[in-house]
Structure 1
Amino acid sequence: MAFFAWLNDQLLRMDWLSYLVRLLLEDGFGLDTLSRVGASLHFFIYDVIKIFILLAVLIFSISWVQSYFPPERTRLILGRMRGVRANLMGALLGTITPFCSCSSIPLFIGFTGSGLPLGVTFSFLISSPLVDLASVILLASIFNWSIALAYVLVGIVLAVLGGSLISQARMERYVEGFVLHSKVLDLPPTQLTRRDRLQFAWEQVADVFSRVWLYVLIGVGIGAAIHNWIPQELISTLIGEDNWWSVPLATLVGVPMYADIFGTLPIAEALVAKGVGLGTALAFMMAVTALSLPSLIMLKKVVKGPLLALFFSIVLVGIVLIGYLFNSFAYLFI
């Protein structure tokens, strides 16, 4: 166990990187890393480099696996399933796609247009921005594996239940006509060479970096400010774990924002360090990634009001319940 703990600290938490950044700031620039300025710079530099290193490795690995499951092949696999099993597969598919909520919508259109059940495509749409493998590893690097795995489990359960409820509601009539009648190319799967897969994986890394780098910088910057400049008493008064309203407030605050999960993780880390409940911080993170205003606006273009309202209500209530759940049982994970 000691070896695995050491491996986790060095590979995921990157304690060696934290030490090098501290050495650089103290010996190279003469900054005290226990001061506000020094601690903020250490938090920012260390977290940014750590997140980008992990992102590059994880997105490359995930994309390599993805190269064996192009959308057409995935559609064929899902098309043979029905019921909860199909919803579960749709949710699991979302976990291996490193997409934000807006990027998931084109795939949602393609899956729906190809005849997949509406509930299955919504299970995918919920899980894709919420629970992807890269974010799981980053959660483990910031918190621990217990929290990361519990987060995955509740995220998949929410996606399956959400998709199942939408399926039972029979809301197909509230999908815009152009989605249901969109053309789908039924091409035979191509055999990719190793070089093709390498190129695809590197292209995915570059694409994800181009979409998330700014949000990572902003998120880490906000996290550094929360961690070192905002008084703990103020945060505890507003969204401390003893306040019953902290979870719904954090969820509602997160909805209008737009950021990738990689940008919200450092904020969640700083909030927990300041005494905010684990569930409150995770609820904020989930609301930003799954219910951001830009993604809802995009989704409104492909589904009608009643279906959008049902989707929003299910995910919102689910996030709040998950937040309370994590707050109540946080002692099991920390």
Structure 2
Amino acid sequence: MEVIKTAWEFFQNEILGMGWLNRLISTGLNACGLDTTGRIGGSIQFFIYDTIKIMVLLGVLILIISYIQSYFPPERTKKILGRFHGLWANILAALLGTITPFCSCSSIPLFIGFTSAGLPLGVTFSFLISSPMVDLGSLVLLMSIFGWKVAVIYVVLGLVIAVAGGTLIENLHLENQVEEYIRHGRSMDVLQDELHFKDRLHYAWEQVVSTAKKVAPYVLIGVGIGAIIHNWIPEDFIVSVLGDNNPFGVILATAAGIPMYADIFGTIPIAEALLAKGALLGVVLSFMMGVTTLSLPSMIMLRKAVKPKLLGIFIAICTIGIIIIGYLFNLIQPMII
């Protein structure tokens, strides 16, 4: 048992967390005359280390996930989802969202396609909630920073929100709240040629390059903010605003994430820095979920597809779910970290 524990800690710290890279960068910066224990040197180390770590993990994850996705083009996915009904359909749609490494804005076109194809509205919303919130990338990145317990519980609770939210929307019978051009649209099934290994690998690599170009600016911004928080903002200030002394920290963090636009890869370094400064775990995760699920740009895009009533219900479901999860993580933090 001790061997398994040691092996897992090595995998988490040195493979996922890339501790060796952090030490290498620290040695290199110290050799160049920078003190990595100081604010400037520490900020530079944090920026270089987190940027490389996130982009490498991102590339590997997207390559693997996109290769798997090459077996499930949208037309085939619609047919698979169409065979299920009720709660099982919502669960399957939420699980499908976990293997789509998209931000919320990228998920909306797929949501529109699924809705136009005639899939139940609740099913498509389960996908829309799950996709940006609990993709496999978030699982791996959260494991690299917070450990496997936090990562698994985060993903499970995110899936619960997606399934519950989609089921509620389905039972409210809000089909008339979808814009007419989508309700009356029809997507055509395109016959898919059987791809060979090289074709799938080429497709996966194209997705890596495309995704990296899209998320790189947000990763750099997120890492930059994280470096500032980690090395320049006093710990007492973070604790007073986002620590256990403020019962409204989860609500503030959720609201603070809404104006921002980033995916899970851009929010991770900010979350890492906040937690290191003393912010509660639930507060940090609420901020991440607020950014990835309820960002203002994605809500503006979603408004083009649904009417204000349905948009408001979607925002309310996600907000309440995020806040509940945030307070739950605050409660169980001593047991999982």
Identify whether the pair has TM-score above 0.5, normalized to the shorter chain: yes
4-13 or 209-218, larger mean C-alpha shift: 4-13
Q: CA deviation at 1:143?
A: 1.3
Which consecutive residues of structure 1, in runs of 5 or more, have no partner in the other structure? none
**Aligned pair count?**
333
The residue aligned with 2:303 is 300
- Asked if structure 2 preserves the Cα contact closer than 8 Å seen for 1:241 and 1:280, the reply is no
Which structure 2 residues correspond to residues 183-202 of structure 1 after superposition, within 5 A? Answer: 183-202=186-205
The residue aligned with 1:68 is 71
Aligned with residue 126 of structure 1, among 122, 126, 129: 129
Q: Deviations over 1:224-257 (max 9, x none)?
A: 1001100111112222223111000111111111
Which structure 2 residues correspond to residues 154-169 of structure 1 after superposition, within 5 A? Answer: 154-169=157-172
2:266 is the counterpart of 1:251: no
- Asked if structure 2 preserves the Cα contact closer than 8 Å seen for 1:47 and 1:266, the reply is yes
2:41 is the counterpart of 1:38: yes
Give the partner amino acid of 1:227: H
162-171 or 6-15, larger mean C-alpha shift: 6-15
2:221 is the counterpart of 1:218: yes
2:242 is the counterpart of 1:271: no
- Asked if structure 2 preserves the Cα contact closer than 8 Å seen for 1:121 and 1:163, the reply is yes
Give the partner amino acid of 1:263: G
2:99 is the counterpart of 1:96: yes
Aligned with residue 291 of structure 1, among 284, 294, 303: 294
Aligned with residue 25 of structure 1, among 18, 22, 29: 29
In structure 2, distance between residues paired with 1:40 and 1:46: 10
Calculate percent identity across the aligned residue pairs. 57
In structure 2, distance between residues paired with 1:100 and 1:310: 20
Which consecutive residues of structure 2, in runs of 5 or more, have no partner in the other structure? none
2:288 is the counterpart of 1:262: no
Aligned with residue 327 of structure 1, among 311, 325, 330: 330
Q: CA deviation at 1:326?
A: 0.3
The residue aligned with 1:241 is 244
Q: CA deviation at 1:187?
A: 2.5
2:150 is the counterpart of 1:147: yes
- Asked if structure 1 preserves the Cα contact closer than 8 Å seen for 2:294 and 2:315, the reply is yes
Give me the CA root mean square deviation: 0.8
2:301 is paired with a residue of what secondary structure? Answer: helix
In structure 2, distance between residues paired with 1:139 and 1:279: 13
The residue aligned with 1:114 is 117
Runs of 4+ in 1 over 4 A off after TM superposition: none
The residue aligned with 1:50 is 53
Give the partner amino acid of 1:185: M
Q: CA deviation at 1:162?
A: 0.3
Give the partner amino acid of 2:253: A
2:262 is paired with a residue of what secondary structure? Answer: coil
Q: CA deviation at 1:8?
A: 2.1
In structure 2, distance between residues paired with 1:79 and 1:230: 51
- Asked if structure 2 preserves the Cα contact closer than 8 Å seen for 1:21 and 1:42, the reply is yes
In structure 1, distance between residues paired with 2:8 and 2:277: 28
In structure 2, distance between residues paired with 1:130 and 1:241: 25
1:286 is paired with a residue of what secondary structure? Answer: helix
In structure 2, distance between residues paired with 1:314 and 1:241: 25
In structure 1, distance between residues paired with 2:192 and 2:238: 53
2:229 is the counterpart of 1:209: no
Aligned with residue 8 of structure 1, among 7, 12, 15: 12
